[in-house]
Amino acid sequence: MMWKIISLMALFVFVSACTVTGNVVKEYNDETEVYFCPFDDCGSILAEKLKSANDINCAFYDMDLPEIAEIMKNKKARLVFDHESSIITSGSAVDPKYSQMHNKFCILDNETVLTGSMNPTKRDTSINYNNFLILHSKQLAKTYNDEFGELFNKTFSGGRETLQNSHYINNNIVNVYFCPEDWCANKILYVLNEAKSSIYFITFSFTHDQIGDLLVRKKKEGLNVAGLMEKSQNNPYAEFQKLNESGIPVKWEATGANLHHKVFIIDEKVVVTGSMNPSLNGDTKNDENLLIIYDEELSKKYVSEFERIWKIIDEK
């Protein structure tokens, strides 16, 4: 009964916020780009994108790359960080630490959004496993700029609900949410519940019981469910044991690099990504951004990343 109630709530929230209507502007721009760190040179790609921009707004949990900091300074970028750092430039807002400002996104020239799981740090760009997305959309950029405005004005851990969640980019639906105000876990539960054949996940911290329970149920229904988790996050609240005991193939990543993705891939057609870990803090306390992207071509790239890391773990 509890699952039915949660499912119906998630359905109502998701459909009411995300249905593509005539009000959604269809945009046809450059294709969405995705890079996977450390295999791709994410730091250099980020630097080149920033150098080519005139107007830059960024919200990062952390940053320690001197080249990126210098570009930000020269471009007079507006920045929001989670905590004070010697590398922070002037014109920045800092979360007062009630919770984490855990976002990782930039808006360039009001028309391009950079996001994913990657912070501009040495570890995240050259050691840890991360995804780095570049989306070309003025409408999506406006949605992110609205959120950035709240953060820059020091409205942390819950501003107003997002006015425009759904975007139609190159014939693909891109839904964006900001946690905690947009009930992000419900959005993940809804899209996972819609899965018909497979769910793959790559997660850093995975402690959200309802999401774990749903994966177990999908496994019992006969779907192909498998996942990768970061072993440094092994604790009594982690979903690993529950998933493993239910017969879901799930592996710890313990090679020295952090598995920093926050990704679900549904039916090899839909990608859930962003800064939010599937955890209670990620859903209800931290400032986060979450993307649900209906793009089969992009999804297959994420499947390849899943398979690549799975193979690396097997070979260790």
Q: Per DSSP, what are the bridge partners of residue 230?
A: 253
Q: Per DSSP, what are the bridge partners of residue 266?
A: 199, 270
**Residue pLDDT tens, the chain, 316 long:** 333 434 444 444 444 444 443 478 899 999 999 999 999 999 999 999 999 999 999 999 999 999 999 999 999 999 998 875 546 555 566 655 556 889 999 999 999 999 999 999 999 999 999 999 999 999 999 999 999 999 998 888 777 888 899 999 999 999 999 999 999 999 999 999 999 999 999 999 999 999 999 999 999 999 999 999 999 999 999 999 999 999 999 999 988 899 999 999 999 999 999 999 998 887 888 899 999 999 999 999 999 999 999 999 998 7
> 112: closest CA among 86, 144, 81, 83?
144
100/53 Cα distance (integer angstroms): 28
In 138-239, where does DSSP find H-type helix?
A: 138-152, 184-193, 209-220
Domain of residue 33: give its range.
2-315
Tell me the HSE value of 244 on the side-chain side, using a 13 A CA sphere: 9
Read off the CATH number of the domain in which 60 is found: 3.30.870.10
Query: What are the Cα distances from residue 227, in Å, to 122, 181, 187, 230, 239?
Result: 26, 28, 19, 10, 11
At 168, which helix (H) or strand (E)? strand 166-169
Rg of the Cα trace of the chain? 18
Instruction: Supply the pLDDT for residue 203.
Output: 98
Residue whose token pair is 């297959």: 300
**Cis peptide upstream of residue 249 (ω within 30 degrees of 0):** no
Helix (H, G, I), strand (E, B) or coil at 75: coil
Tell me the HSE value of 307 on the side-chain side, using a 13 A CA sphere: 7
Instruction: Supply the pLDDT for residue 24.
Output: 83
Question: Which residues are CB-neighbours of 245 under 8 A, at least 6 positions away?
Answer: none
Q: What tokens were used for 182?
A: 């947009």
> Contact at 8 Å (CB) between 156 and 99?
yes
41/60 Cα distance (integer angstroms): 19
Q: In this structure, what are the phi and psi dihedrals at residue 189, rounded to the nearest 5 degrees?
A: -60, -40
Instruction: Supply the pLDDT for residue 16.
Output: 42
Q: How many domains does the chain have?
A: 1
Q: What tokens were used for 96?
A: 């007062």
277/288 Cα distance (integer angstroms): 9
148/141 Cα distance (integer angstroms): 10
DSSP state of 30: S
